[in-house]
Structure 1
Amino acid sequence: MSLEKPDHPATPAPAVGGGSPEPLVPARDPGAVRASDADRDRIADILREALAEGRLEPDEHAERLDALYRSKTVGELEPLIGDLPAGQGTPAPGSTVAPAPAPGVSVGGHRHGGLRVAGAKNVVAVFSGATRTGTWRVGAKVNAVAVFGGVELDFTEALFEQQHVTINATAICGGVEIRVPENVTLRSGGSGIMGGFEVREMEASDPRAPVITVQGVAIMGGVEAKAVEGKRLRDLSAE
C-alpha cells in the first residue's frame, strides 16, 4: 500500500494568537521633546557669548532670543546655534541637570525647606512691555529680555525661594528696570554697548539676606537696577 502525496503543500499553522503580526512602532523624533527652562538657559548663554565675541550682530541676536523664548520643543532650539562654534557637537538639550536647591533657605520670613524650586522665569518684551510686580515667587534665575520694548521687575514684595538670585538682563533698543528692597545685596556683572548698564551695588548687613546679581548686556538700550528707599524685607530670620 503506497501513501499518496498531497497535491498542495500543507498550509503552515497560523501564528499563536491569530491575526497578522503587529507593525513595528516607529522611532520617536527626539526633536519633538518639550524644551525645559534649563535647555533655553543653555542656548541663551551661547547666544550671549556669540554677541560679545562679535559673531552675531545685535539684530541677529535679538531675533534669535525672540525665537528662543517662543520655542516649545528641543528641535526648535538646535537651529539657533547651528552656525556657532558652541553649537558644534554640544550636548543635546535636555541633558542639563539643574543643581538641587539648598535645603531650609529662609528669606523674607518664609522658610522653604525641601521645596522644589521652579525653573527660570522668562520675562520677555518684544515691541511691547512686560512686568513682574507685587507678591511673586523668585527662583534662582530670572531672564529679562527687552527688544524695542520695556521690562519692569519689582522685587520689593517678592518671595525669594533661594538666597542667591541671578538676573540675566538683555536690553536691545529697549530697557530693563529692576527695583529691589534696600536690605538685600545687589551686585553687577553686565556691560553696555552704545547703551547703559547701571547697577547701584550694595551689601546687606545681614548675611542671610538675598544676594541679587544682575548680569547681561545693554545694546543701544539700558539696564538699571537700584534699591527702593523705605522698602525692606520684613524678617530675614528663620521661622
Structure 2
Amino acid sequence: MTNELPEMRASDAERERVAEALRTAVAEGRLDMDEFGERLEAAYKARTHAELVPLVSDLPAAGAETPAPLSLHKDEAGTWPERIGGPATSKGAVAVFGGFARRGRWTVGRTFTAFTLWGGGQIDLREARFEDRETVIRCFALFGGMGVLVPPDLDVQVRGFGLMGGFGDKATGPGTPGSPRVRVTGFALWGGVGVKRKPLP
C-alpha cells in the first residue's frame, strides 16, 4: 500500500482491499484471529490512507513470499497480482428448478463446476479473485441457461458445445499481461451457456 497522500480520504473500495489482504494473511497463518479481528475492525473504521497503511505494512502482497507494498489504487499493472491467490470461497453451484448467482467480491476455485436443471445461473468474474493463475469453469446446462460475465482484460478460452442448445464462445481471447487464464468448458442440452465480456458499470 502506498502512502503518498496520508491524509487522503479512504474509499470503500480501498477499505475492502485492505480487508481482503487481512483475510488472506489470517488464512496463511500470518495473523492470529484476535489480531485479525482488531485490524479488520480498524480497517472498516479508517477514514484516511494514514489509518489504513499500518494495518498491512508488515504483510506481503497476496501470493507473495516476501513483503511487498499493497497499492490502494487499481492501475493496469497492479490489478491482477492483487487478485490472484488465496483460498477459494466457492468451487461450484447448482440450480434445480431455481437459480444461483456468484458475483461481487469472491474467490473462484481452480476448478469451478456449475450445473443447472430447469433453472438458471450467473457467474460474474468481473470483481472476483482467483485461487490460481489457471482456472477451469465447467458449465452444464440441461433445459436451462447459464451466463458467465468476464472483464475485458481477462484471458478467456471457451471450449463448450451445445446439443439442441447453444454454447457461446464470442468471449474467447487473450487478456492483459499478468491476467489469469480462464477456460470455460461443458455442454448445454436443450439450454444455453453464454460467455460475455462486459466491463463493470
- Fold in common (TM above 0.5): yes
Letter in 2 for 1:215: T
Alignment partners' CA distance in 2, 1:191 and 1:155:
21
Judging changes above 3 Å, is the alpha-carbon distance between structure 1 residues 231 and 109 closer, same or farther for their aligned structure 2 residues?
Answer: farther
Aligned position for 2:114: 144
1:170 to 140, 149, 162: 140
Task: Compute the RMSD of aligned alpha carbons.
Answer: 2.4
* Alpha-carbon distance, 1:190 to partner: 1.0
Aligned position for 1:199: 169
1:96-133 Cα distance to aligned partner (Å, 9 max, x none): xxxxxxx64996342766x5x44861110000010011
* Alpha-carbon distance, 1:137 to partner: 0.8
1:38-92 Cα distance to aligned partner (Å, 9 max, x none): xxxxxxxxxxxxxxxxxxxxxxxxxxxxxxxxxxxxxxxxxxxxxxxxxxxxxxx
**Structure 1 or 2: larger helix share?**
2
**Alignment TM-score, normalising by the size of structure 1:** 0.48
Letter in 2 for 1:139: G
Alignment partners' CA distance in 2, 1:152 and 1:141:
16
* Alpha-carbon distance, 1:188 to partner: 1.3
Alignment partners' CA distance in 2, 1:111 and 1:128:
30
Tell me, yes or no, if structure 1 residue 223 matches structure 2 residue 199: no
Letter in 2 for 1:110: E
Alignment partners' CA distance in 1, 2:191 and 2:89:
27
Letter in 1 for 2:119: G
Mapped contact 2:158–2:169 kept (Cα < 8 A):
yes
Q: Which runs of 5+ in 2 are unaligned?
A: 1-62, 66-77
**Alignment TM-score, normalising by the size of structure 2:** 0.57
2:82 to 72, 96, 110: 110
SS of the residue 1:108 aligns to? helix
Judging changes above 3 Å, is the alpha-carbon distance between structure 1 residues 204 and 143 closer, same or farther for their aligned structure 2 residues?
Answer: same
Mapped contact 1:120–1:141 kept (Cα < 8 A):
no
Aligned position for 1:87: none
* Matches for 1:72-221 after TM superposition, within 5 Å: 104=64, 108-110=80-82, 115=86, 117-118=87-88, 121-200=91-170, 201-206=172-177, 208-221=178-191
Letter in 2 for 1:140: R
Alignment partners' CA distance in 2, 1:126 and 1:199:
25
Alignment partners' CA distance in 2, 1:140 and 1:227:
20
Alignment partners' CA distance in 2, 1:203 and 1:147:
31
Mapped contact 2:161–2:186 kept (Cα < 8 A):
yes
Q: Which runs of 5+ in 1 are unaligned?
A: 1-102, 233-239
Mapped contact 1:177–1:223 kept (Cα < 8 A):
yes
Aligned residues: 126
